[in-house]
Every structure is written in C-alpha cells, then in structure tokens.
Structure 1
Amino acid sequence: MSLEKDVMTQMKAAMKAKDSAALEALRAVKGAILLAKTENSQQELTKEQEVKIVQKLVKQRKDSAQVYREQNREDLAEPEEKQIEVIAQFLPEQLSEAEIEAKVEAIIAETGADGMKDMGKVMGIASQQLAGKADGKTISTVVKQKLSN
C-alpha cells in the first residue's frame, strides 16, 4: 500500500477515535505528500521520496520539541513528541547504534578512509546506504567517532 493510502486509512481511524494529536500529524504527512506531488508534477512518489518526506517531518518535530524543552515549555513539547510517534511509524525499521557502527566500519574499510580528511567520502556512502534506516545526525556522529580513532 502506498504511503498516501496508508495515511488516509489511519486518518479515518484517528477521526473515529477522536485522536486530535494523531490526526494533526497525519494531516501534516498528507499535506507534505501532496506538496511533493505538485512540486514535481508526478502521479506517484517513489519509496525513497516518501521516506525522505517522513524523515523531514520527524526531524522538524524533534527540533521543535528540543527548542520547547530548552524554553521549559513542556506543554508544547509533549504534542510534538506524540506527533513524532505517529509519523515515525511510516519509516522503515531504524537500525540500532551498534548496527550503524558496523556498517560505518565496513564502509571505512571499503574506502580505505584514514582520518577526518575522508569524512565527506565516508558520509556520502553511509548516507546513501543507510537512507531511511538511520538518522543523519547519528550517522555523522558515528563516522566522526570512527574516523577520529
């Protein structure tokens, strides 16, 4: 089932359950999908495009929740985190940090990277291979850690 159809099905369920937080998150996903379709004048989005849209929405909410927490606004941070839970269910299963480290080590061995000067090369390959399965910030942290050793 396409992401759009899946979102619509869940929106109906959220409306029936009167779950406003889930409904708001699902409407954001639907809006982002429609926006991407009209920008590219496509009938259907590829799986990679759908994953990027969902990742972007999750990242926006994580950033917002972090800002709200820094400003001691728990009342605003909690709804953002609830939306993250709803939106994140559309992402492929995320890799654990140990799995990310193993993949990054393999990439470093494959490319022969030997220091921070090769970070761009390693990040390019890692981002491509782990797209949708890991957060870019986590990948970057692991790559820096491995290359600085």
Structure 2
Amino acid sequence: MSLENTISDAIKTAMREKDRVALDSLRAVKSQILLLKTEAKGAEVSAEQEIAILQRMIKQRKDSFEQFTAQGRTDLAEVEEAQMKVIEQFLPKQLSAEELESEVKKIISEVKAESIKDLGKVMGVASKALAGKSDGKSISAMVKQLLS
C-alpha cells in the first residue's frame, strides 16, 4: 500500500477518533504528497520521495519546537512535538547509534576512505544508502567521527 493510501486511512481513523493533532498532521502530509504529484505531472512518486517529504516535515517541526521552547512558548512547542510523533509513525524504523556506526563503517571501507578529506565521497554514498533510516545530521556526525 502506498504512503498516500496509508495516510488517507489514518486520516479517516483520526476523524472518527476526533484526534485534532493527528488529523492536522496527516492532512499536511497528504497535502505535500499531492503537491509532489502535481509537480511530477502524473509521474509516479517513489518511496524515496515520500520518505524525503516525511523527513522534511519532521525537520520543520523539530526546528519550530526548538524555537518555541527557546521563546518559552510551551503550548506551541507541545503541538509541534505531538505532530512530529504522528509523522514519525510513517517513517521506516530509524537506525540506532550502533547500527548507524556499523553501516557507516561498511560504507567507509567500500569507498576506501582514509581521512576527513574523503568526507564528500562517504557522505554521497551514505546519504543515499541510509535515506529514511537516519537523518543527515546524524549521518554526517558519525562519518566525521569515524574519519577523524
């Protein structure tokens, strides 16, 4: 089942349960997917593109959460955090720190990286291989740590 269908089913469930936060979050996701489809002019939207949408939306909410927290607006921060949790349910299982380290080590050996100078080569491969399984900031930090 595609992400769009899964989201539509979740919207129906949220409507029945009168879960306002989930409903708002899911409608935003569906809106982004429909926008991507419109931009693609009828072409099929890939799973990678759907995951990228979810990751971008989570990052936006995380940034908003941090800003609201810094400004002492806990009421708004709680809404952003709740929306993040709803959206995260539709992402693939995220890698733990140990799993991420293991995957990055494999990639480093595959591209024969030896120093921090090879950061670009490793990040290019790692970003594609680990898309949806970990965010770019975590991948970058792990690559830098292992190449240093």
TM-score (norm 1): 0.95
**Aligned residue for 1:10?**
10
Instruction: Give, as a single letter, the amino acid of the residue that structure 2 aligns with 1:26.
Output: L
**Aligned residue for 1:124?**
124
Superposed displacement of residue 44, structure 1 = 3.2
Instruction: Give, as a single letter, the amino acid of the residue that structure 2 aligns with 1:23.
Output: L
Q: Tell me, in whole angstroms, the C-alpha distance in 1 between the residues paired with 2:43 and 2:11.
A: 21
Q: Which stretch has the larger CA shift, 110-119 or 82-91?
A: 110-119
Superposed displacement of residue 73, structure 1 = 1.4
Instruction: Give, as a single letter, the amino acid of the residue that structure 2 aligns with 1:112.
Output: K
**Aligned residue for 1:96?**
96
**CA deviation profile, 1:58-110 (whole Å, cap 9, x unmatched):** 11111111111121211111111111111111111111111010111111122
Q: Tell me, in whole angstroms, the C-alpha distance in 2 between the residues paired with 1:42 and 1:99.
A: 37
- Kindly report the root-mean-square deviation, in angstroms, between the aligned alpha carbons of the 2 structures: 1.0
Instruction: Give, as a single letter, the amino acid of the residue that structure 1 aligns with 2:143.
Output: V
Q: Tell me, in whole angstroms, the C-alpha distance in 2 between the residues paired with 1:107 and 1:2.
A: 29
Uncovered stretches (5+) of structure 2, i.e. residues with no partner: none
Counting only pairs closer than 5 Å after superposition, residues 24-43 of structure 1 correspond to structure 2 as: 24-43=24-43
Q: Tell me, in whole angstroms, the C-alpha distance in 2 between the residues paired with 1:98 and 1:79.
A: 31
Instruction: Give, as a single letter, the amino acid of the residue that structure 2 aligns with 1:19.
Output: D
Superposed displacement of residue 43, structure 1 = 5.0
Identity of aligned residues (%): 55
Uncovered stretches (5+) of structure 1, i.e. residues with no partner: none
TM-score (norm 2): 0.96
- Alignment of 1:64 with 2:81, yes or no, is no
**Aligned residue for 1:79?**
79
